Structure 1
């Protein structure tokens, strides 16, 4: 049931006493952890907290990348799982802070530093993960570019060099065929 479809309900909610509205609002907010965290960020935190959150998440990303790079047997399966987990952390950060600039910086950092080139044989059980990793990597890059194009040109200017490094990485590895298929530019 959508509230927009029930105008009478909307009017009745607006006519509730202030105290009752507050109780209902607090009960609803408590059911959604992301909304609770977003409201905490919006109402109780400032720019310094945004920087702190971004630095903490970047530290987690760096740790994850180090784990991928220095594993006993680096492989595409572990890298794909780690990349999805780190991307999920960035998604959460984005939902809580609603800050596109820090989200873009974190995603570009992740994509620029995560390893994507694994020499796994076609006969290896890990080969299918190699393909999944390359597709996931390129699709994530496409999503980042789409968000980049919607940003203000001053913010685009700050990210352009790092995005060009990312595009160079895409066209330097096995991801090139998928990138061409999806129409990814070689440079901005």
Structure 2
């Protein structure tokens, strides 16, 4: 795909996702979901800002997170297409097979690093969502919680895709698995803190 996922309509994105094309796949859709989760929390803050300008710093932090989350969708497509190109390399001779193995290994590592980086930003967004809960106006607390639900789902979905790559990594797999597990625990812990926070009308 040459165009950005952010330049197509929602209907087109849905249709592409539901097609036989391998992209956009789980990582890209998860990244889009994370951006919308972050956007929901921002909406709650923007509504709150109408009566409480003191939330401006929290909004600025959220905008920065959103700017970091958005590129992950297109990046995931690029990385997976690089991986597919590596898989299509010729393997008729020993030299070609060695070249292909090295290319597939490098592409697999890159296609795992990308999702891990995206998941890490989504975890930051979850922690930010928790930090703004006491700031938002009562009626839109549910939007912060809904945004956090989407962010958690995005992290878990992203890590599922990364796990599929790790399974093919051989000696490098344990280090990647440890990072996956750490991100999953961090996301679940941040979301649990949000769930445990009682709603207090303002």
Q: TM-score band (shorter)?
A: 0.3 to 0.5
Q: TM-score w.r.t. structure 1 length?
A: 0.44
- The structure number with the bigger radius of gyration is 1
TM-score (norm 2): 0.41
